[in-house]
Amino acid sequence: MQWQCLSFNQLSTDQLYDLIKLRIDIFVVEQNCPFHDLDNLDRKDGTHHLLGYKNDELVAYLRLLPAGTTYDNVSMGRVATSGSARGTGIGHQLLIQGLEHAELLWPKQDIDIGAQEHLQAYYKQHGFNVISTMYLEDDIPHVDMRLTKS
């Protein structure tokens, strides 16, 4: 796996295309959930994009957001692995890489996420705890979770 963590301005047009395609493939097509993926947070100052390539194919992605963007704390979102990469452990590698990069960017800062409810156990393996009741986001059950670092 080759990992790259880049700001919006550092992304090549091919990388931007790859990440938008992966997000649409997963969150819109696979989950049958039409929503506005392009929310202007991708290019916000301080936002970083973590891309995981295997054999020149983007198979893992997440977005790192500075505190005050979507939550009071640092946050991660748009966590996605391609269908071909699922079941190989790449999802866990992605989260580990995301947490390492968040620590480099914002040391000792708590991290909040809006997790799909059925993925609670996955995030709990990485130290996140549920901090909200279930809510619907785009008709999909979610919970807020936090990794406490401070």
Q: Which domains does the chain have, with CATH numbers?
A: 2-147 (3.40.630.30)
Residue 50 near residue 3, CB atoms below 8 Å: yes
Residue 48 near residue 40, CB atoms below 8 Å: no
Which string of b and e fits 113-134 if b means at least 16 CB within 10 Å? bbbbeebbeebeeeebeeeeee
Write the pLDDT tens digit of every residue in 14-42.
999 999 999 999 988 888 888 888 899 99
| pTM: predicted TM-score of the whole model, two decimal places | 0.94
> What average pLDDT is seen over the chain?
95
Instruction: Provide the β-strand partners of residue 53.
Output: 2, 58
Write the pLDDT tens digit of every residue in 104-143.
999 999 999 999 999 999 999 999 999 999 999 988 999 9
Q: Taking 80 as the threshold, does the pLDDT of residue 150 lie above it?
A: no
Predicted confidence at residue 30, as pLDDT, reads 87
Write the pLDDT tens digit of every residue in 45-100.
999 999 999 999 999 999 999 999 999 999 999 999 998 888 899 999 999 999 99
